[in-house]
Amino acid sequence: MVPDAVGPHPQYDEFADEFVDHASNSLYNAHYDRPTCLALLGDVAGKSVLDAACGPGLYAEELVARGADVTGFDQSPRMVELAGQRVPAGRFRVHDLADPLDWLPDDSVDLVLFALALEYVDDRTRALAELRRVLRPDGALVLSRMHPTGDWLRHGGNYFDVRVIDEVWSRGWQVRYWLAPLERTCEELHDAGFLIERLLEPRPSAAAAEINREDFDRLMREPTGFLAIRAVPDGRRPW
């Protein structure tokens, strides 16, 4: 029976060290998602950035190098430990997005980055609303997620059916995540108090072709990878 929730799961904690070695220069992470998210964030110099589900600090490392003041959190204690080692200038803590960000006041950060983690949250609207709460009125949220078309092509079934997937990735990593159409993500952002400013279906950088030409060519022609969204607080809605 397919479960109706992802729930607390130690999935990334179990392969955190392998993940950081992989993601540091992988096609999908280093040459596809990170450049897209960083571009959508824009100039971060002098700005406070909340790195939600920060992983091992690969995004935070680049944000600090560009002059940002970075606070990050992750559900995985090992990921948080790795992030602190990689980015001594950042502030990182263990936190589950299922819980309120009660250690952050309202309107306290300029930007929020939420990269490739939306799928692991059960109550996504509530989590996004918390990110909206801590974001300044003139700030922005940048999130990326797996492309729903690519998910549907891999798993089949009803594209509009919101469901949980159990999957084993190529390195033997066992993961559990939500499969949801693009419409659902847009509605969750709306319900959390955001307006979508930009939506990108990224292409990999030229350097990605040297890592895996087949994957590079596919991502240049098919929506089978990730997508990225920049959303801003909806100032018309009182909070």
101: CATH: 3.40.50.150
> Nearest 5°: phi and psi at 73?
-150, 155
Which residues share a beta bridge with 51? Answer: 72, 113
> Using CA atoms, how far apart are residues 36 and 229, in angstroms rounded to an integer?
10
* Region 4-18 average pLDDT: 65
Q: What is the pLDDT of residue 166?
A: 87
Q: What is the pLDDT of residue 5?
A: 65
* Region 221-234 average pLDDT: 96
> Using CA atoms, how far apart are residues 124 and 145, in angstroms rounded to an integer?
12
Q: Is 80 helix (H, G, I), strand (E, B) or coil?
A: helix
Q: Is residue 64 part of a domain?
A: yes
The parent domain of residue 61 ranges over 11-232
**Closest of 153, 152, 149, 146 to residue 177, by C-alpha:** 146
Is the pLDDT at 45 greater than 90? The verdict is yes
Q: How confident is the model at residue 8 (pLDDT cuts 50, 70, 90)?
A: very low
* Region 105-132 average pLDDT: 97
For 162-203, how does the pLDDT look when each residue is reduced to its tens digit (9 = 90+)? 999 888 766 677 788 999 999 999 999 999 999 999 999 999
Residues in the chain: 239
Q: How many domains are there within the chain?
A: 1
Is the pLDDT at 3 greater than 70? The verdict is no
Is the pLDDT at 58 greater than 50? The verdict is yes
Residue in the block written with tokens 């949980």: 164
Q: Is residue 216 part of a domain?
A: yes
Query: In terms of pLDDT, which residue wins out, 175 or 204?
Result: 204
Is the pLDDT at 229 greater than 70? The verdict is yes
> Using CA atoms, how far apart are residues 211 and 206, in angstroms rounded to an integer?
10
Q: Is residue 2 part of a domain?
A: no
Q: What is the pLDDT of residue 59?
A: 97
Residue in the block written with tokens 């060290």: 17
Q: Is residue 74 part of a domain?
A: yes
Residue in the block written with tokens 């940048």: 142
Q: Is residue 3 part of a domain?
A: no
**Residue 63 exposure: Cα atoms within 13 Å on the Cβ side:** 34
| pLDDT, the chain, mean | 91
How, if at all, do strands 69-74 and 135-146 pair? unpaired
> Using CA atoms, how far apart are residues 75 and 46, in angstroms rounded to an integer?
27
Q: Is residue 68 part of a domain?
A: yes
**Closest of 99, 175, 111 to residue 142, by C-alpha:** 111
Query: In terms of pLDDT, which residue wins out, 112 or 170?
Result: 112
DSSP 8-state code for residue 29: I
Q: Is residue 238 part of a domain?
A: no
Q: What is the pLDDT of residue 2?
A: 40
Q: Is residue 125 part of a domain?
A: yes
Q: How confident is the model at residue 21 (pLDDT cuts 50, 70, 90)?
A: confident
**Closest of 118, 51, 128 to residue 84, by C-alpha:** 51
22: Cβ contacts below 8 Å, ≥ 6 apart: 29, 171
> What region does 110 belong to: left with phi over 0, alpha with psi -120 to 50, or beta?
alpha
